Structure 1
Amino acid sequence: MIRYCYSAWDGSQDTFHPGPEDVLGNLADYLLEGGDLQKALRMLMQRGMMDRQGRVMPGLQDILKQLRGMKEEHLRQHRPDSVLDDLQRQLDAIVARERQTLDAQLQATRQRLEGLTAAAAPTTAQQQANERRAVQEMEELVTERQAQLDALPPEVSETLRRLQQYDFLDPQARQEFEALLQALQQQAMDALVQTLRQRLQQMTSNDMQRLQQMLAELNHLLAQRAGGEDGDFQEFLQRYQDLLPDDAPESLEELLERLARNMQAMQSLLHSMSETARQELQQLLQDAFPDETMQQAIAELMQHLQSYMQQEGLGEGFTFQGDSPLALPDALRLMERLQGMERLEDALERVLWGADPQQLDEEQVRELMGEEARGQVQALKDLAEQLQHKGYIRKTKDRLELTARGIRQIAYKAMLDIFASIRRDQFGKHSLAQRGSQGQRQEETRAYVYGETFDIHLARTVMNAVLRTAAPPPLRLTAQDFEVYGTESVARCSTVLLLDMSGSMERFSRFTAAKKVALALDALIRIQFPRDTLDIVGFFTYAQTLQLEDLPYLTPKPFGFFPYMYNDMYHNPMGYLDLQIDTADALSGRVDMPQAFTNIQAGLQVATTILTRQHAANKQIILVTDGEPTAHIWEHKICLEYPPSQRTLTETLKEVKRCTRQGITINTFMLGQDYYMERFVNELTKINRGRAFFTSPANIGDYILVDYLSNRRKKVA
């Protein structure tokens, strides 16, 4: 019976765990395209990746897009000016309660007077006079207070200032107003000293005096800092420990940074409001502290913070489009969140432009975007470490580089990618009907012939003896009973893959496709035909042998500007070019020679030299190019000719004839097609009898690997 175990989500049940093979496979595409491992890893982090099950891991670009969407959602939802609306509603409720109390008090006094008048007792005459006087005084008091309330202006800040001078008759209204005033003081201080938030709620008048002293000493420390002096911050912490939270800053710089962040939130809120609302809120916060000494201390502290924020950046406003109301505390928290999003956005953009991804603060990502986004960032930051741990890459002094194991893995994946694009029914057509004694075992069997490999099929051999004798045991075997496995003979082959590295191969990802084919062919030969050999030669203005470990980093030779070349806006040479450079000078570097030309002749010469040292029965050159030759070697000189001349074509075809005389087959794969190219390839195939394929970067791998298999494997009778 299958058992299932369920548990609560704790953030560890990540739905996507890319393995090192998945990481390297996705990394290989960028590496082969640009030839730079560092850049390829950066591209992988930027764009994300997909694992073998088709699950997508977002890249930094996706995370940045998500962050911007979250920020825009906040901006579309809220309206900062509503902060004053919330304060106005609270003040209106307090004033309404006070009016209700005034009316009730006046009504109660009048009722007592009416009661005394109805009694009409002599002993109450004096009492009636006193009550009438009390009613008259109450009426005057109520009239005065009502006049004060009626005269309250529409501005919230002015209403607050006048109510501070008002003597409330209703105790609950007085309590609510004092609570509102204290909350405003708290929010005003939050813009400066958020660490005092909880302390302000229980502050007495003596505590407020100590707060003034603390601000004065803090201003003194900041003034010393501005003058280059070191104040005693630890003594400051000990003296005002009761006013500071448990996680008090350990240094003046840390405190200054906290204060600046809090002030930035208030500045952002003010800058996000309309001009009228901004001025009113500023006045409101200033009036929250009627004491002039406190106002001066706060103003001085703000000056210190503003000078510090000139370096860190002032709190900029945001453009809101929503209608949802905000209370002042919620507005300040929202501003802090939006500023945090902007800081994270800046950090992500810096990483996208090449900064170290390890600088990203995962805790900041978690606070602003959630645990899932934090896990995604952590996974992206760990990509290189994951490849290093698996042994696919290693870190040198100043860069990362592929290991031999990593290159083999990329080659293996390239082979799998190519074969995955080939229909399954294309296989099985590559063997000829010829059987032999050496090669790969087949399931079919045949009678044993003396001299062949004795790979006996025991079951059929015994069955042959039983059928022949039809006698009880013991069973006696003879030579005619032996039946052996059939084998598929594979002749040994030496191959040189000739890759065009001229400047035009950079277009349409041609060289990237060629490199992928080279890696895939190496993996195929290494796995299925280990007795074969494969060498790789790159040709451009001249030719050179390429090592497999260098192949991922190679790029086509760039077009350049030289005194004897005139290039158009597409970097193509303009006009006719006929230039001869001494080979020794060119190869030694004494002459600055352009390298982006196509010297197929030099490539064939290097390939022939390699193949003549091999003793395989079959020798072939696989030529991958996108155009006819534009360079050749003649009398120890490198001749550059553009457009291609007949002389270059003739010298190249002479080298084709030399290859043909040595029994070397040349199979050509053209990444492009035009009249001059077809003419050259037709001449080449007439001379060599090899095959020619006109293909594209998208399917050149299918052509080369299938062609290699179909011409490598044959059955020997």
Structure 2
Amino acid sequence: MARRDRRYAYGPYIDGPDPLAPPVDLRAAMDEIGRDVMEGASPRSALQELLRRGMENRRGLDELTREVWQRRSRLQRENRLDGTLQEVRELLRRALDAERDTLGRQDTDDARFREMQLDALPSDTGGAVRELDSYDWQSSDAREAYEEIRDLLGREMLDQRFAGMKQALESMQQNADVAQAAVERIREMLDDLNNLLANHAAGQDTGQQFQEFMQKHGEFFPENPRNTEELVDLLAQRAAAAQRMLNSMTPEQRAELMELSQQAFGDPRLAQALAQLDAQLQGLRPGEDWDGQGRFRGDNPLGMGEATRAMEQLGQLDALAEQLSQSYPGARMEDIDLDALGEHLGDQARVDARALADLQRELERQGLFERAPDGSLQLSPKALRRLGEAALRDVVDKIGARRGERETHRSGASAEATGATRPWAFGDTEAWNVPRTLLNAQLRQAAGDPRVLDVTDVEIVETEQRSRAAVALCVDTSWSMVQDGRWVPMKRTALALHQLISTRFRGDDLKLITFGRHARSVELGELVGLEGVWEQGTNLHHALLLAGQHLRRNPDAQPVVLVVTDGEPTAHLEPDGEALFHWPPSRETLRATVAEIDRLTGLQASFTFFMLGDDPRLAAFIDDVARRCGGRVVAPTLDGLGAEVVSDYLRTRR
């Protein structure tokens, strides 16, 4: 049988958001969070800021909130709530004009008396409609218009509370008998509904009564509630919106509408049943917004049902704005009603919000945050490694650009080969033993593994044991570092150096030391999350004391001291542990600092001073102590600080 020739046509996807759009970049998200944390934000606030700001090609919560408020403002700006009143006034005008025209053609005393009756009608629409309830219309057109007022009011009142009721009743108006039967069924449904809610409010088990009610009147509830509680929720939301609609009207409009409601279908029982229903719903759901209102000022008149739906939309938009703000205790991205968001802002908004929720969930699932002992949220070691990788990658790029080199993964001859090999481990940079690696792959394939080459096959050339280094990185954390924009570059430098040592030089021992009025040893996560504090004092003396303790604990290691500072020493530590501050620097401070440098020089420590800023006093001090200890002085730009520190460390290791 001949094969049918199939033809395919390709075109752009236009039905909603692109299903092949890339997911949110987790690495880019971590970079942004890390930058905010290093600038002093807490991990939680950094995550919230990222969600508010959004990512590339994904709107954030702030943008979605702005669109929600624009939608809300447009709804109020374009519409008004007195559409039903306007329509009733127009029908009343038509009825009176037609009646007066008919009476004007009659030359009788009865016609003149009727004209006097019409002239004496109350000025308000509600009072006029009520007075005309018993009027014997002479014009068939006038009588039809007046009956339309009653039917209109009934349809609008029911449309406020029951979805689709207005359209169903309008389709029945062509047959008066059918329409009257429908109205009677509605009255019966309201009586049964009020009875059901009264029993529910009294604490009775209404399960069986609810099932019987839905079997009898389920056509009025296309939402198909499953129990009495769901039915109450459904009705209370619409009833509260109807009440907010009334609250939003002027007192005159509200009084006029309440007066007209008594004329619905020419029978006040409907209004009474609905009033009883509203009262029961308010008692069952007092937490609904029964007192709110919205200011509508547009030119498009809305009927009572349409106005109630507009108030429901306002309530949904207000709820969405609160959910998107994430400002309440225990807020989660899962709180956002994605269906409501898509309904009001479109499918792409739903996709953007879901992507942000997935990002938050993925960050937590991958263990990038953890709880500190005090209960606060902090970056996990895994997150710090990712930030360190990014910082080191940036530093390597700068080193290569500065030297005219490209990034390379080839390692130089750091030590002599021993002739032995060993399996590769993460962080190893030694050369591969290619014959041994290929042999491992062949043996694995012979055992039935079809993969050509696997990381477990790799063996590297073992080298002689390299000398260890004990590194003390002393970073200035005085307020001037924050004030002059040196805070984040300092932290990125520490991240890059930590990442380099922990991956390539794992035998080295790095100690991070911060110094302001006092100095202290800190872990990497503590330094990354450190907030700038207004504090006077640059206590390099205390930092060198801690550096000396670290170097003495590693007597077999090459001692390396790296100092990053933007100011000369202005504080030193007294024997009793008190830090004394003085500006300009006192002789005692300078003498104590230089004495500690001399002690570390006696340990054959290698010094490098990274001088930030252009303070001449600092330059003079650094030059003097560098000559004294045989150290180096580097004056990097802020952008090049990390590259200079890493380069100097590598130079010292060589």
- Normalising by structure 2, we get a TM-score of 0.74
8 A contact 1:649–1:680 mirrored in 2: no
Q: SS at 1:311's partner residue? A: coil
8 A contact 1:63–1:373 mirrored in 2: yes
User: Compared with structure 1, are the counterparts of its residues 653 and 419 closer, same or farther at alpha carbon in structure 2 (3 Å cutoff)?
Assistant: same
Aligned to 1:667: 608
CA drift at 1:149 = 6.1
Q: How many residues align?
A: 585
8 A contact 2:517–2:581 mirrored in 1: no
Is 1:158 matched up with 2:127? yes
**Counterparts of 1:710 and 1:72, CA distance in 2:** 60
CA drift at 1:179 = 4.6
CA drift at 1:70 = 1.7
8 A contact 2:611–2:619 mirrored in 1: no
Tell which deviates more after alignment, 90-99 or 380-389: 90-99
Of 124, 147, 156 in structure 2, the residue corresponding to residue 187 of structure 1 is 156
8 A contact 2:157–2:304 mirrored in 1: no
Aligned to 2:67: 66
Of 697, 700, 708 in structure 1, the residue corresponding to residue 638 of structure 2 is 700
Of 622, 647, 658 in structure 1, the residue corresponding to residue 599 of structure 2 is 658
Q: What amino acid is aligned across from residue 331 of structure 1 in structure 2?
A: A
Q: SS at 1:637's partner residue? A: coil
Aligned to 2:444: none
| Residues 40-79 of structure 1 aligned to structure 2 (within 5 Å) | 40-49=46-55, 55-79=56-80
**Counterparts of 2:389 and 2:518, CA distance in 1:** 30
**Counterparts of 1:715 and 1:389, CA distance in 2:** 39
User: Compared with structure 1, are the counterparts of its residues 667 and 429 closer, same or farther at alpha carbon in structure 2 (3 Å cutoff)?
Assistant: farther
8 A contact 1:192–1:302 mirrored in 2: no
Aligned to 1:413: 390
Aligned to 1:322: 298
**Counterparts of 2:29 and 2:269, CA distance in 1:** 63
**Counterparts of 2:342 and 2:83, CA distance in 1:** 29
CA drift at 1:518 = 0.9
Aligned to 1:21: 27
**Counterparts of 1:508 and 1:14, CA distance in 2:** 44
Q: SS at 1:632's partner residue? A: strand
8 A contact 1:196–1:245 mirrored in 2: no
User: Compared with structure 1, are the counterparts of its residues 427 and 189 closer, same or farther at alpha carbon in structure 2 (3 Å cutoff)?
Assistant: same
Q: What amino acid is aligned across from residue 514 of structure 2 in structure 1?
A: G
Q: SS at 1:648's partner residue? A: helix
Q: SS at 1:497's partner residue? A: strand
User: Compared with structure 1, are the counterparts of its residues 205 and 544 closer, same or farther at alpha carbon in structure 2 (3 Å cutoff)?
Assistant: same
Is 1:364 matched up with 2:340? yes
Of 33, 36, 59 in structure 1, the residue corresponding to residue 39 of structure 2 is 33
User: Compared with structure 1, are the counterparts of its residues 4 and 692 closer, same or farther at alpha carbon in structure 2 (3 Å cutoff)?
Assistant: farther
Aligned to 1:272: 248
Aligned to 2:463: none
Identity across the alignment (%):
28
**Counterparts of 2:307 and 2:593, CA distance in 1:** 77
8 A contact 1:668–1:693 mirrored in 2: yes
User: Compared with structure 1, are the counterparts of its residues 269 and 347 closer, same or farther at alpha carbon in structure 2 (3 Å cutoff)?
Assistant: same
Q: What amino acid is aligned across from residue 356 of structure 1 in structure 2?
A: R
- For each residue in 1:133-184, what CA deviation from the matched residue of structure 2 results, as whole angstroms up to 9, or x when unmatched? xx98xx7887777776666666432343355445556667655654553332
User: Compared with structure 1, are the counterparts of its residues 247 and 327 closer, same or farther at alpha carbon in structure 2 (3 Å cutoff)?
Assistant: closer
8 A contact 1:190–1:196 mirrored in 2: yes
User: Compared with structure 1, are the counterparts of its residues 350 and 178 closer, same or farther at alpha carbon in structure 2 (3 Å cutoff)?
Assistant: farther
User: Compared with structure 1, are the counterparts of its residues 306 and 143 closer, same or farther at alpha carbon in structure 2 (3 Å cutoff)?
Assistant: same
**Counterparts of 2:431 and 2:111, CA distance in 1:** 124
**Counterparts of 2:39 and 2:277, CA distance in 1:** 56
Q: What amino acid is aligned across from residue 24 of structure 1 in structure 2?
A: M
Output the aligned Cα RMSD: 4.4
Gaps of 5+ in 2: 1-8, 173-177, 407-411, 417-429, 433-465
Q: Larger C-alpha radius of gyration, 1 or 2?
A: 1
8 A contact 2:476–2:516 mirrored in 1: yes
User: Compared with structure 1, are the counterparts of its residues 66 and 491 closer, same or farther at alpha carbon in structure 2 (3 Å cutoff)?
Assistant: farther
Is 1:297 matched up with 2:235? no
**Counterparts of 1:623 and 1:62, CA distance in 2:** 44
- For each residue in 1:373-428, what CA deviation from the matched residue of structure 2 results, as whole angstroms up to 9, or x when unmatched? 111211111212223455645689977654444322111222344566x5975224
**Counterparts of 1:144 and 1:231, CA distance in 2:** 60
Q: SS at 1:499's partner residue? A: strand
8 A contact 2:570–2:582 mirrored in 1: yes
User: Compared with structure 1, are the counterparts of its residues 615 and 91 closer, same or farther at alpha carbon in structure 2 (3 Å cutoff)?
Assistant: farther
Aligned to 1:88: 89
Is 1:601 matched up with 2:578? no
**Counterparts of 1:373 and 1:196, CA distance in 2:** 31
Of 226, 238, 260 in structure 2, the residue corresponding to residue 250 of structure 1 is 226
Q: What amino acid is aligned across from residue 705 of structure 1 in structure 2?
A: A
Is 1:709 matched up with 2:628? no
8 A contact 1:631–1:638 mirrored in 2: no
Q: What amino acid is aligned across from residue 34 of structure 2 in structure 1?
A: A
